[in-house]
Structures are given as structure tokens and as C-alpha cells.
Amino acid sequence: MRDRKSNRDGFWIRSGVTLGVALAALAFSACQEPPPLPPAQPTLNVIVLPGPTTWFKGPSGTPAGIDHDLLARFAAERGLALKVSFADDANSLVEGVAKGDAQLGAGGLLRDEAAGETWTRGYKATGLAVIYNSERIRPKDWANLDGATVAYRTRTGIGEALDDVIQAHPGIVWKPVDLASSDALIGEVSDGDIDYAVVPATDIDAARNVHLDFDVAFAAGPERQFAWVVAPGQKALRDTLDAFLARAQHDGLLARIAERYRAVADGLARLDAGVFQDRIRASLDQWRRTFQEAQAQSGIEWRLLAAVAYQESQWDPLATSETGVRGLMQLTAGTARGLGVVDRLDPRDATLAAARYLADLKRRLPAHIAEPDRTWFALAAYNIGMGHLEDARVLAQRMKLNPDLWSDVRKALPLLADPKYYVNARNGYARGGMPVAFVGRIRSYYDILLRSEPERPPLLQALLALR
């Protein structure tokens, strides 16, 4: 049996009686009064198109991304349970929302201005750009593409944004494609399977170190706004979402979330990214099981550990720095002793110990620091020590910045090398620029690994599916 309940904002949400509640009621005899049923929590049903900045699995294994953080915040404020299903492409997402399979669709969609009633207000601006395979001659404008094929993803708002261009350049072969993400389309261009494509500039930034053989040709038009598509008949929900997004823009929430997931490609040259991808193909198999064993023991995601190890030693188990740190994870002698490591050059022992240490650093951070900032803070402490990290958080607070956001604390850390600031720091001088660069490069390596390496080995994935 299903009933319809209204939340305090007036939009209708379906809820149901669970099997467990029904069985509990049957456990009472006919003459015994059953306890009152708990009120059902209203549900917000969302269809999501995953993407590398909008909705993805973060370093702690939980969902992360701009759309995720915004919708989770909205649902928490309204007392709604967030129920998520995933679409394979934008076309199926939009059709699913139009049929009423969900109240809302999200995930890197550009607002369709012509269908404004079914879209929320925009929450983040992006330009559009034409990309090309870097082995080709770079086109300067649309006229250079006469006779060429230009692809774009269907039902994402890009086709509507290109209406005038399409009409003005009939000699171009326009190719709408059903691909899961801009990242996939960029990959097609980088691999040479598609000549040219139009994609959002924000997605280009996130893909630069993953797909190495593409580049930007020219801007494809004025900025457009990312937004969410709302099911027909959900005007009250749309208005409530619009009010939430307006407030988030006014109070800085949107800017803080966007900064949290800003592409970190600028911290890693494309040449370095190419070398790293070569090392993945040549060397990662040797250490994969060690990193996965460390994840099983510590809870630290194996691809993050692989990124740390590459930053520390380029996966060289015999690496020794001029400062005396050694091994795959570049442990100091004191840290190794504290973790019970007898031989820092034993890659398995060093990796398991480093994973325990990183997990301990995460536990020692204040509980209210959320992911993914919690992981970035732990990495900074791994590099510079918890004491100096806390000094930077205190300094950030004095600077009217948020001490619980990595994007703010990373501004304070380099100041610990300035006597004007470190004289008042509890732990004194620190080369605070080092952990900022350390975390930035690990994030870049981790981003590449997230999109090139499966979360679990295929056999383990299959076994888990049977449970």
C-alpha cells in the first residue's frame, strides 16, 4: 500500500510502508494494540548522471561532487531522504524525469532556456569550447570546420546553445551523441575517434591530465549555466530549489563547494601526467595487491595510497631522499619506529604502516571536518605534521577564513614560513608551501587513477555482487 504525503513546502512526495514495519505489526496478537507506526520520512528521488566534478565516489568511498553536496545539503535542511538512481546518458535522465520516474535530474546539465519551467535556476556558469585532437591542425573558427564532423552530447543543453551556430554553418556535419559524460566525449576526441567536439570548459579543465591528446580550438559561445531538470507538475519543488540555490549563492555556499571540486590539473604539467600514465601501465601491477591489502586493513582507498606512493617515490621501493627518508612510502626513521616498521625498504611493511598512519591522522582530525577536506587535511599532516597543520587552521581562523575547508587552510599554510606569522604559531616555523604542493599533486595523480583503474579487482567485484 502506498500513500501520498506532503512536506512543509507543499510539493508531494511518495512514501511507502516497508516490509519490516508490516511484519512487526503482524507479530502482535489480534487483542493486543500494536505500537504506532513511525512517521515515514519524505523522499526526494533524483536521477543522477555521474561526472568527475558533479557526482562521483570520493576518497572515503562515499559520494562527492558539486551536485551531490548541494543536493545533500538541500535534503538535510528540508528533512528529506535522498534516494538516488543513476542514468547511463543525459537522454535517459531527461526522459526518466519527464515520465515521473524521479522528481529531479542532476549531473552536469546546462539549463535549457527555452524550457525554463522544467529547470531550476542556474547554479554555476561555464563557457563552451570546441576541442580537437592535438595531432590535427588547430581550427581558428567555425569557418575552418566546414565539411568536418563536430559532436556534442544530446539533452545536456549544448545542442540548444548551438542552435544559431548550427543554422549559420550548414556545411558542418553536426553529430549529437549519447555518451555518459563530457569526459567520455573528450576521450573520443583525444583517441582520434571523433574529429571535433563542443564541451563545457569546466569539464575540459578536469580532463586535461587524463586525456593527453586533445586541446582547445576556440570558444563556442557565451557562458551557460549548469542547472537541474525538474519533473512536470513539481513547480513547488522547483521554486523551493530556486530559493535554496539563490541563498547558497548569496551566502557563499556555492562558491565554497565549487572551490572544493575545482580541477587540480594546474598543479600537474601535462608532461608529468603523461609520464605518470606510462608508469601506471608499466609498474602499477607490481604494487596493486599491496595497496589493496593496505586498504583492507586501514580503510584508506587503494588508489589514494598509490597516488601517495607515486608522489613520494615514483613507486621505487629503494628510493632514498637527501633528507634520509626511505622506501616506497618515504618514511622517516622516527615514523617507521613509531609504526613498528623494522625495514623501511620492505615495500609491503612500509605501505601497510603508511596506510595505518594516514588513517590515524584522519581519526585525529575534528569530527566535524567533512570529506573530501578531511582526506586533504590528513595528507597535509602526513607531509608536515599535525602540529603545523593545526597552526595553519588557527591562522586561517584569524584571517576570517574557514579552518575546516582545505581551500581556505591552503592559503594560510605558506604563511608559516613568514616570521610575521610563525612567531605566534605554537609550533613555530614551517615550510608551509610544501604540503600545499604535496596535496595538489596527490589529488592530480588520484584523479587520474580514479578514472583509469577499477575500484576493486574484477574477481572481488563479482564475489561482492553475490553477497
Residues contacting 278, CB < 8 A, separation 6+: none
Please name every residue paired with 173 in a beta bridge, in sequence order, or none if there are none. Answer: 149
What distance in Å separates the CA atoms of residue 171 and residue 168, rounded to the nearest whole number? 9
Residues with Cβ within 8 Å of 76's Cβ and at least 6 positions away in sequence, in order, are none
Q: How far apart are CA 267 and CA 290, in angstroms?
A: 27
DSSP-derived 3-state class of residue 153: strand
**Sign of the Cα pseudo-torsion (10, 16, 18, 22, in order):** positive
| Cis preceding-peptide flag for 372 (omega within 30 of 0) | yes
Decide if 259 is catalytic: no
Distance CA 354, CA 28 (A): 54
- Cβ-in-10-Å burial (0-12, 13-18, 19+) of 368 comes to exposed
Q: Which triple of cell numbers denotes residue 259?
A: 572551490
Q: Please give the grid coordinates belonging to residue 346.
A: 620492505
For 5, 22, 42, 132, the CA distances from 16, given in Å and listed in that order, are 10, 11, 10, 50
Q: Using CA atoms, how far apart are residues 355 and 366, in angstroms rounded to an integer?
A: 19
Phi, psi of 33 (to 5 degrees): -75, 120
Nearest one of 56, 58, 84, 55 to 67, comparing CA atoms: 55
Residue 129 in grid coordinates? 569550447
DSSP string, 41-70: PPEEEEEE--BTTTBEE-TTSSEESHHHHH
**Residue 299 CB-density burial (10 A; 0-12 exposed, 13-18 middle, 19+ buried):** middle
106 DSSP 8-state letter: E
Q: How far apart are CA 431 and CA 104, in angstroms?
A: 47
Which stretches does DSSP call E strand in 157-213? Answer: 173-177, 196-200
Measured distance CA(179)–CA(90) in Å, rounded: 8
Residue with cell 531538470: 229
- Beta-strand relationship, 43-48 and 56-57: unpaired
Grouping H, G, I as helix, E, B as strand and the rest as coil, residue 178 is: coil
Query: Catalytic: which of 95, 312, 322, 371?
Result: 312
Residue length, the chain? 467
Active site residues: 312
